[in-house]
Homo-oligomer: A and B are copies of this chain.
Amino acid sequence: MTALGHHLLAEFTGCDAASLADLKGVTSAMLEAARASGATIVTHSFHHFSPHGVSGAVIIAESHLAVHTWPEHGFAAVDYFSCGFVDTGAAMAVLRVAFGATAMETLNLTRGPLGHPG
């Protein structure tokens, strides 16, 4: 099987609460992460959760990069769906620094119909 897409789920823990609550900072970090991965940015949308946190996504030509943050738990959930040649590791490295995370766990999934002949 040849995967049609790759979906990286990343969980950042031990993050700096103020960084995760900063709408402008999270937006900038996500755009920088998308650029660091070599992706072509189409548009983006970010907003504050109530009562805390930031949520949003960067729509890229190669798919999407989304984040949801919980400052009160020092936690951020990221997912990067990609269908082209992008360096998702570079994107995660940018976010880890920007969020001040002490740890990151990732799960790499392939997306596509099982048995797709490739």
Contacting pair B11 A9 (CB below 8 A): no
Query: Which DSSP category, helix, strand, loop or mixed, fits chain A's interface?
Result: strand
Residue of B nearest to A47 (CB): B42
What bracket does the count of chain A residues touching chain B fall in?
A: 35 or more
The verdict on A37 contacting chain B, using a C-beta distance below 8 Å, is: no
The verdict on A57 contacting chain B, using a C-beta distance below 8 Å, is: yes
11 CB-based A-B contacts, threshold 8 Å? A4-B77, A11-B113, A49-B83, A50-B61, A55-B59, A55-B64, A55-B83, A64-B66, A77-B81, A77-B111, A107-B109
List A residues at the B interface (Cβ < 8 Å).
4-5, 7, 9, 11, 13, 42-43, 45, 47, 49-50, 55-57, 59, 61, 63-64, 66, 68, 70, 73-75, 77, 79, 81, 83, 105, 107, 109, 111-114, 116
